[in-house]
Structure 1
Amino acid sequence: MPHNLLIIEDDARLAHMVAEYLGQNGFTVRHAPDGLTGLALLSSTPADAPVDLIVLDLMLPDIDGLEVCRRIRTLPSPVAQTSLVMLTAKGDPMDRIIGLELGADDYLPKPFEPRELLARIRAVLRRKGDTPAERESQILSFGTLSIDRDARIVSVGGKPCELTSYQFDILVTLAERAGRVLTREHIMEAVRGRELDAFDRSIDVHMGRIRAAIEADPKDPRRILTVRGVGYVFARQQD
């Protein structure tokens, strides 16, 4: 069954080109020319044909992409967990950081090659776990923290934690290697399949979001510890 994508982009020519290219590669694509139309389409999508991923432009004529992203993440589940790739202005890292903080799974600076967008989309969907048979059924447990890799659910004390698909995979990468110090580059390469750019600190943004979800006190973390000058380590100790 083809994946359903929603492109929220005010540049009609670019949207048509991207939709045509993605359609040729097996995706069903809908287009919204502005943020409010995109939110309306997303909210009215039938449950038996959900949107699998949103391609969201940062600069829109009515409300900007950051606000659209924020509103999407406040919608009822499972719509709020829809994967999202944000299109950002080239050379503006602050927009990328804010987008990641709001819950975007990945970003792609403009201008871009459609082939790279396709690769990013496939990578995000693959991380989301659309083929459960490819994933182990083991549940990782650390005291009150439970990580179900098949269901892609994280809970603390039985209460589910809100994480994007990318943040879930970062957590799994760390938890599977509990007690081992991982560099930022190692984490990014393991999750995204490429090395971290020299000045890319988006992994730190995601780590902050993960801590906010699973730590009793994110400012004094006990599960995910920072190793200054190196990276991060998932602590072995139980609650």
Structure 2
Amino acid sequence: MTHHILIVDDDPHIRDLLAFALGRAGMSVAEAGDGEAALAAVEQDVPDLMILDINMPRLDGLDLCRRLRASGGAQARLPILFLSSRDDEIDRIVGIEIGGDDYVVKPFSPREVVARVGAILKRGVPAPPPMPATVIRYGRLALDIDAWEARVDAEPIATTATEFQLLALLATMPSKVFSRDAIIDRLHGPGFAMTDRTVDSHVRNLRAKFARAGLDDLVETRSGVGYRLGRCG
């Protein structure tokens, strides 16, 4: 299957560079020069992944990401790879905390961007749990693997692709404590460049979303070790 990627950057040279690299990797590409054009493109046809620059006129990348994540439906689940000249760790963390899946800093290697895009797209549905059902239930938590839907009781909770994958990983083995490195390896593959702070940000996002639905014990922290699923009671 050919994946469709939307490149959003106000620099046409960067769009051309990425379009060429992604095209060589067998992906189809659409382009947008600012956030408003990208929003219109997504509303017309949701891509498989968006490469999104932060610093843009009219509607910057962070605000666009916030609007998409708040929209519900397929747009809210759209994987987003942030692309920016901002190299401070706090900016990378902000991008992840508002719903980004990954972050690449300019100047970048096109091969690295293609590799990160491929890693996000290849996550797909996590390995099924050792049970015939495609719904994982634990306490008040339910994860519909086929529908990519998380619920507390009967209430759907909007999650990004990365957040759902992380939660599904914990839920398939609820008694196991996963180190941050193990989480990165399971979601991306060994050797993938992601910081522990990024994993922590995804966990904070999940906790905040489920706490608003009344589930305050979604993920348990084992100090100095890692994370495991909480009681979900």
Same fold flag (TM > 0.5): yes
Matched, 1:117 2:113: yes
**What residue is the counterpart of 1:167 in the other structure?**
163
Deviation of 1:170 (Å):
0.8
Distance 1:172 1:39, change over 3 A: same
Q: Which amino acid aligns with 1:231?
A: G
In 1: Cα distance, 2:9 partner to 2:124 partner: 23
Matched, 1:85 2:78: no
Matched, 1:223 2:218: yes
**What residue is the counterpart of 2:141 in the other structure?**
145
**What residue is the counterpart of 2:228 in the other structure?**
233
Deviation of 1:76 (Å):
4.1
In 1: Cα distance, 2:53 partner to 2:142 partner: 35
Deviation of 1:120 (Å):
1.1
In 2: Cα distance, 1:74 partner to 1:11 partner: 27
**What residue is the counterpart of 2:39 in the other structure?**
39
**What residue is the counterpart of 1:99 in the other structure?**
95
Deviation of 1:75 (Å):
2.5
In 2: Cα distance, 1:238 partner to 1:156 partner: 9
Distance 1:199 1:53, change over 3 A: closer
**What residue is the counterpart of 2:177 in the other structure?**
181
**What residue is the counterpart of 1:57 in the other structure?**
53
Query: What runs of 5+ residues in structure 2 fail to find an aligned partner?
Result: none
Deviation of 1:99 (Å):
0.9
Identity %: 35
Q: Name the SS for the 1:232 alignment partner.
A: strand
Query: What runs of 5+ residues in structure 1 fail to find an aligned partner?
Result: none
In 2: Cα distance, 1:188 partner to 1:142 partner: 23
C-alpha contact 2:163 2:206 (8 A) present in aligned 1: yes
Matched, 1:190 2:186: yes
In 2: Cα distance, 1:169 partner to 1:4 partner: 21
Q: Which amino acid aligns with 2:120?
A: V
Q: Name the SS for the 1:61 alignment partner.
A: coil
Q: Which amino acid aligns with 1:2?
A: T
In 2: Cα distance, 1:183 partner to 1:69 partner: 28
Deviation of 1:202 (Å):
1.1
Deviation of 1:210 (Å):
1.0
Deviation of 1:16 (Å):
0.5
C-alpha contact 1:186 1:195 (8 A) present in aligned 2: no
Q: Which amino acid aligns with 1:213?
A: K
C-alpha contact 1:39 1:68 (8 A) present in aligned 2: yes
C-alpha contact 1:143 1:238 (8 A) present in aligned 2: yes
C-alpha contact 1:145 1:155 (8 A) present in aligned 2: yes
C-alpha RMSD of matched pairs (Å)? 2.3
Distance 1:69 1:11, change over 3 A: same
In 2: Cα distance, 1:24 partner to 1:238 partner: 45
Q: Name the SS for the 1:23 alignment partner.
A: helix
Q: How many residues align?
A: 229
In 2: Cα distance, 1:72 partner to 1:128 partner: 20
1:102-143 deviations in Å (ceiling 9; x for gaps): 1111111222211111111111112244xx9x7565321112
Q: Which amino acid aligns with 1:223?
A: L
Distance 1:175 1:206, change over 3 A: same
